[in-house]
Amino acid sequence: MAAWVQLVYSKDTQVNISSEFSIIKKYLSGIGTSYLTSNGINLAIGDDCAVIAANSKLLISTDTSVAGVHFLKSMPAESIAYRSVATALSDIAAMGGNPVAFNLSLVMPNFNPSWMKNFRKGLQKISREFQFPLIGGDLAKGPLQISVTVLGKPHTKILLRSNAQSGDILCLSGALGSGYIGFKDYKKGKVLNNKTKSYLFPTAQINYGQEISSIASSAIDISDGIVQDLSHLISSSGVGCNLDLDLVPVVDQKFTKQCLEFGDDYKLLFTVPPKKLSTLQANLNSLNEKCHTIGVMGGKKLIINKNRFGLFRSWDHFK
Ligand code: ADP
Ligand code: MG
């Protein structure tokens, strides 16, 4: 039992709804239970561990979202919850995987029933959308922070960052900048509209990742801006790239630089052997998805063509 429980109990002895276990039971249990059996979960929340009957490789990834760093405290709790899971889920998309379940560690400064109710709503929304359940987690008192571990299974091939080959075409799954424009707009108006939606409720491109999984040679999701994430792909694969910035679509040309640098778009950046490109594009078209070709892999370093924006500021927490 956490120290917080004693703390809450001592302050609130009559209404023990505020105890750690009651919060878990009321607000964090029963999310996506209808997907437990189909996703191979034998045991979910309630015991010391969840139990998964894994008959294949599992993809596992954790993402931590800190208030004031990754999201604004003032954002609706529904969005904070949804976003924290979506950003973690984006890593499963980038591996071409299928979501199986998630764990959630929640650190919060106090217990507010209506905030918690909305937080639950966000968890239910994403659980339903991707048909995967919440199977465990942790709860503690402290500055607001959410850490999500997602589990997935490969759909076909596992897409690595490290397998881009010289000659492969560099592709992007959609226009960049919806995160930036959404964030800017939200800070101004604090409302949910078509623009802020893409920041408050970002899309993890799970279907897209699965669609490209058998054909693409490598992939990464763009969380930190295209140059930074492309650099990761390049260094993992040991091959350079010729990127043509004029070919990178952005959602608002008045803010091209910011759209390219901001990140938080969760689009997929991937490489495709040239011979397979037309097949892949046809497959994606039939799903109503776009595939933008923005460069070619080769050489030893990253060459950014048509860079009229000066040096790129890339997001690095430790700089
Ligand atoms: P322990 O003390 O063994 O770490 P807890 O009391 O923290 O266990 O948790 C009890 C049960 O509730 C566990 O099954 C755990 O996975 C689940 N749980 C705790 N926090 C959360 C959370 N934030 N979301 C979902 N499940 C949670
Ligand atoms: Mg235990």
Each residue's pLDDT tens digit, 154-211: 999 999 999 999 999 999 999 999 999 999 999 999 999 999 999 999 999 999 999 9
Indicate whether 12 belongs to any domain.
yes
Instruction: Give the distance (Å) from ligand 1 centre to CA of residue 134.
Output: 11
Whether the Cβ atoms of residue 214 and residue 156 lie closer than 8 Å to each other: yes
Please report the pLDDT score of residue 313 as a whole number. 56
Most informative mutation of 1, 24, 31 for ligand 1 (most atoms within 8 A of CB): 24
Amino acid at 128: R
pLDDT of residue 17: 42
Centre of ligand 2 from the C-alpha of residue 49, in Å: 7
Do residues 149 and 165 both lie within one domain?
A: no
Question: To which residue do tokens 């009229």 refer?
Answer: 308
User: Which element (helix H / strand E) includes 171?
Assistant: strand 169-172
Confidence bin at 9 (pLDDT 50/70/90): very low
- What pLDDT does residue 302 have? 92
Q: Is it the case that residue 8 has pLDDT exceeding 60?
A: no
Q: Is residue 313 part of a domain?
A: no
Strand partners, 103: 136, 149
The side-by-side arrangement of strands in the sheet containing 59-66 is 59-66, 145-154, 97-108, 134-141
In the predicted model, what is the mean pLDDT of residues 77-102?
98
Q: How far is CA 207 from CA 187, 219, 225, 247, in A?
A: 30, 14, 22, 24
For residue 15, pLDDT over 60 is answered with: no
- Cβ atoms of 106 and 137 within 8 Å: the answer is yes
pLDDT at 316: 56
46 pLDDT more than 70 = yes
Output the ligand 1 site: residues, CB below 6 A.
24, 28, 45-48, 104, 106, 134, 136-139
In a domain, 272, yes or no: yes
Pocket test for ligand 1, best of 45, 62, 84, 126 (most atoms within 8 A of CB): 45
Question: Does residue 55 register a pLDDT over 90?
Answer: no
Asked if the model's pLDDT at residue 252 lies above 90, the reply is yes
**What is the Å distance from ligand 1's center to 75 Cα?**
25
Q: CA end-to-end span of the chain, whole Å?
A: 37
Q: Is the pLDDT of residue 311 over 70?
A: no
What pLDDT score was predicted for residue 183? 95
* Whole-number average pLDDT of the chain: 92
Say yes or no to pLDDT of 50 above 70: yes
Domain with 51, as residue range(s), is 3-154
194/107 same-domain check: no
Q: What percent of the chain has pLDDT over 90?
A: 87
- Is position 314 within any domain? no
Residue at a domain's end among 123, 154, 185: 154
Domain membership flag for residue 112? yes
Distance from the alpha carbon of residue 178 to the mean position of ligand 2, in angstroms? 41
Q: What is the pTM of this model?
A: 0.92
Q: Look at residues 154, 185, 204 and tell me which one is the last residue of a structural domain.
A: 154
CA separation for the pair 174, 90 (Å, rounded): 14
Vertex 68: Cα angle to 66 and 69 (nearest 5): 60
Name residues whose C-beta falls within 8 Å of residue 10's C-beta, 6 or more positions apart in sequence. Answer: none
Percent helix / strand / coil, the chain, rounded to 5: 40, 25, 40
For residues 243 and 306, the answer to whether their CB atoms sit within 8 Å is no
CA dist list (Å): 3 to 8, 139, 143, 147: 9, 11, 15, 19
What SS3 class is residue 113? helix
pLDDT at site 18: 56
How far does residue 133's CA lie from ligand 1's centre (Å)? 14
Cβ atoms of 258 and 180 closer than 8 Å: yes
Find the mean pLDDT for residues 226-249: 95
CA-CA-CA-CA torsion sign (103, 206, 296, 175): negative
| pLDDT tens, residue by residue, 270-294 | 999 999 999 999 999 999 999 999 9
In CATH, what number is assigned to the domain containing residue 22? Answer: 3.30.1330.10
Domain with 199 in it: what CATH number?
3.90.650.10
| Position in ligand 1 atom list of the atom nearest CA 20 | 6
**Residue 308 pLDDT class (50, 70, 90 cuts):** confident
Give the other-Cβ count within 10 Å of 74's Cβ.
10
Half-sphere exposure of 60 (CA within 13 A, CB side): 6
Total count of domains within the chain: 2
204 lies in the same domain as 253: yes
DSSP 44: -
Q: Is the pLDDT of residue 6 over 50?
A: no
Q: Are residues 127 and 204 in the same domain?
A: no
Within-domain flag for 257:
yes
* Per-residue pLDDT at 318: 57
